[in-house]
């Protein structure tokens, strides 16, 4: 700006300007600093919580080395799709992820159908240890040193409203993406498919997208994993679900020990009771359950006296209906467990105790 123009501006604004300095005019070599009405900005370290004092930052720094991207490999070794996972046992290299991340992959003959990529960009072969479709969980294993395991917390202990962090690889491209939110609710039950209902889910508004599946949901206050990110409502925002860590602990332990989850066996074949059948049988409106079509000889059901045409309506007082099918209600029971079955026989309700057995075959 020329000196002339500056001078004109001084004239125009002279009523409100105490002075106007024209370029080239003498200036004080040490101008008096102006006092600010606002506090000085904090140092950069203080602004971000000194790197570790901010709960989310500290949780991410602690857990990121435990999180992996899971890449499915085709028989020719080319990548097919990806998800997320996290280490639960550093000494033995066990990694938890979702069943739906790994279910369509077959062993390529060398025992390693997956690559896992760590936050430091290490890539390792991984093999499938076991998977459980009914809880949508799976365990992989890598052979490596200097791994860091995440800690599985108690999902029952985390209060609703607690700050949580999700880490994963959304869309298969954005590795180690961090999102945050709160625990919106606990104990949710959501249909994953027409026949599989996932139980005891942690609901969160932390952003979860395709590729986040299998990654950890972390309680920021404790740095503990309280869920495995699994589902998101497609017709709503801020509505994601994670399999609770208490479920993960039980299922992962069985997969590591046995390669599969062995559930209690009743020993019946059945069909769903329809509203029309219930009406024809003179049952009260709204009665739901299953109709026994076959009892396996020598099975727990046979030993308990269950008969063909019995209508089983409840398991341990939990109603059997389309939202709570028998298969889903039996997920948590193991051989040797005793369950109470409520049934209708010849129009009369009764209950029987059944000690579950090992699956046959």
The model's pLDDT over 153-207, given as tens digits with 9 standing for 90+, comes to 999 999 999 999 999 988 767 888 999 999 999 989 888 876 678 888 999 999 9
**Region at 4 (left for phi over 0; alpha for psi -120 to 50; beta for the rest):** alpha
Predicted confidence (pLDDT) at residue 113 exceeds the cutoff of 90: no
Domain ranges of the chain: 61-141, 163-258, 268-355
Q: How many CB atoms lie within 10 A of CB 127?
A: 15
pLDDT at 44 over 50: no
pLDDT of residue 69: 94
Name the residue among 249, 271, 253 with its Cα closest to residue 261: 253
The structure tokens listed for 226 are 């309280």
Q: What is the pLDDT of residue 210?
A: 82
What pLDDT was estimated at residue 192?
A: 80
Mean pLDDT of the residues in the chain: 83
Q: Do domains 163-258 and 268-355 have the same CATH topology?
A: no
Q: Is it the case that residue 61 has pLDDT exceeding 60?
A: yes
- CATH assignment, 163-258: 2.40.10.10
Q: How do beta strands 318-319 and 338-345 pair?
A: unpaired
Superfamily for 268-355?
PDZ domain (2.30.42.10)
Residue 209 vs residue 4, higher pLDDT:
209
Question: What pLDDT, on a 0 to 100 scale, did the predictor assign at position 310?
Answer: 97
The set of catalytic residues is 100, 136, 213
Q: How confident is the model at residue 4 (pLDDT cuts 50, 70, 90)?
A: very low
Q: How far is CA 1 from CA 6, 15, 20, 218, in A?
A: 7, 21, 14, 57
Task: Assign domain 61-141 to a CATH class.
Answer: mainly beta
Q: Which of 27-36, 72-81, 121-130, 349-358 has the lowest mean pLDDT?
A: 27-36
How far is 298 from 360, CA to CA, in rounded Å?
A: 11
Q: Is the pLDDT of residue 12 over 60?
A: no
**Residues 6 or more apart from 284 whose CB is under 8 A from it?**
278
- Determine the average pLDDT of the residues in 94-111: 77
Asked if 183 and 160 count as a contact pair (C-beta separation under 8 A), the reply is yes
At 314 the pLDDT is 97
Bridge partners (DSSP) of residue 44 are none
Q: What is the DSSP letter of 34?
A: P
pTM, 2 dp: 0.74
Q: Quick one: pLDDT at residue 309? A: 96
What sign does the CA torsion over 171, 217, 181, 64 have?
negative
Any idea which of 74-83, 221-230, 296-305, 349-358 has the lowest mean pLDDT?
A: 74-83
Q: What percent of the chain has pLDDT over 90?
A: 63
């Amino acid at each position: 700006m020329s000196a002339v123009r500056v001078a004109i501006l001084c004239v125009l604004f002279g009523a409100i300007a105490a002075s106007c300095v024209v370029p080239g005019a003498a200036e004080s070599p040490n101008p008096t600093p102006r006092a600010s009405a606002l506090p000085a900005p904090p140092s950069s370290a203080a602004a971000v919580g000194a790197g570790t004092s901010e709960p989310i930052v500290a949780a991410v720094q602690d857990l990121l080395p435990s999180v992996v991207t899971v890449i499915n490999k085709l028989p020719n070794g080319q990548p097919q799709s990806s998800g997320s996972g996290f280490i639960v046992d550093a000494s033995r290299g066990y990694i938890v992820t979702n069943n739906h991340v790994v279910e369509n992959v077959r062993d390529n003959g060398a025992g390693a159908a997956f690559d896992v990529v760590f936050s430091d960009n290490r890539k390792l072969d991984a093999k499938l240890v076991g998977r459980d479709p009914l809880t949508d969980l799976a365990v992989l294993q890598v052979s490596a040193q200097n791994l860091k395991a995440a800690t599985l917390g108690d999902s029952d202990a985390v209060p609703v409203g607690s700050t949580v962090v999700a880490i994963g690889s959304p869309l298969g491209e954005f590795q180690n993406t961090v999102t945050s939110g709160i625990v919106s609710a606990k104990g949710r039950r959501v249909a994953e498919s027409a026949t599989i209902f996932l139980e005891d889910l942690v609901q969160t508004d932390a952003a979860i997208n395709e590729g986040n599946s299998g990654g950890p949901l972390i309680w920021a206050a404790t740095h503990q994993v309280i869920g495995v990110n699994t589902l998101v409502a497609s017709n709503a925002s801020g509505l994601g679900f994670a399999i609770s860590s208490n479920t993960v602990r039980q299922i992962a332990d069985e997969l590591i020990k046995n390669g599969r989850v062995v559930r209690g066996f009743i020993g019946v074949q059945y069909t769903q009771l329809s509203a029309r059948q219930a009406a024809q049988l003179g049952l009260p409106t709204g009665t739901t359950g299953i109709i026994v079509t076959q009892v396996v000889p020598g099975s727990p059901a046979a030993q308990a006296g269950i008969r063909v045409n019995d209508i089983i309506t409840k398991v341990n007082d939990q109603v059997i209906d389309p939202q709570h099918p028998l298969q889903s209600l039996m997920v948590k029971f193991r051989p040797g467990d005793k369950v109470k079955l409520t049934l209708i026989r010849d129009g009369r309700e009764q209950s029987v105790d059944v000690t579950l057995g090992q699956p046959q075959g």
